[in-house]
Amino acid sequence: MTEISPDVKTLIQEAIKLEVNGQAFFKQAAEATRNALGKKMFNRLADEEVKHLEAFSRLFSSVIKSDDWKKQVEREQLKGPAEVIEELARRMKRAEGQSEVEALRIGMELETKAVEFFRRAAAEMKDPAAREIFEKIADEERFHYDILLAQHDSVTRSGFWLDSSEFQMDGKY
């Protein structure tokens, strides 16, 4: 069995937890949302978190040149209710009539944290392929943030008029 360093092990666990928590949150937000289009958006974001997990599995196996990391990552740390999701659920419950707007805000917070995490992880990667994957996932998380922000601005009617395009909704900045 190939031994992995504690730093790589921690990175793997944190990346997986981030995506698992994101998926759980977006599923919960979809259940709490009454609007059909809102449900669809949150479910799509949850599905994309699963795709990220699949990409991580391939990435870590190729970087480590083995699937042994799956045995070494402490699965028990990834099981059970996530503290972050429980806190987010409490925030949504407290928001009562505004739970959909709160779900959008929380989603934006999660995506911001994910972007920061994956950008840092990319910067720490020595392997160019691993760096590229983390940068790509950071870009996808940024696109998720933009989707949530656009939805938030639409729902709260807090958007503003632009005199020129400041970003593209296709995720290309």
Instruction: Report the CATH number that the domain containing residue 99 is assigned in CATH.
Output: 1.20.1260.10
89 is in which domain, residue-wise?
6-156
End-to-end CA distance of the chain, in Å?
42
The answer to whether position 166 is within a domain reads no
What is the total count of domains within the chain? 1
Which positions ≥6 away from 96 have C-beta within 8 Å?
none
**pLDDT of 140 strictly over 70:** yes
The answer to whether position 163 is within a domain reads no
Q: Are 82 and 21 in contact (CB under 8 A)?
A: yes
At 95, list the tokens. 């928001």
Q: How far is CA 10 from CA 5, 37, 128, 136, 163, in A?
A: 9, 37, 20, 20, 45
Q: What percent of the chain has pLDDT over 90?
A: 6
pTM score: 0.71
The answer to whether position 78 is within a domain reads yes
Q: Are 60 and 19 in contact (CB under 8 A)?
A: no
| pLDDT tens figures, 84-117 | 666 766 777 776 666 788 888 888 988 898 899 8
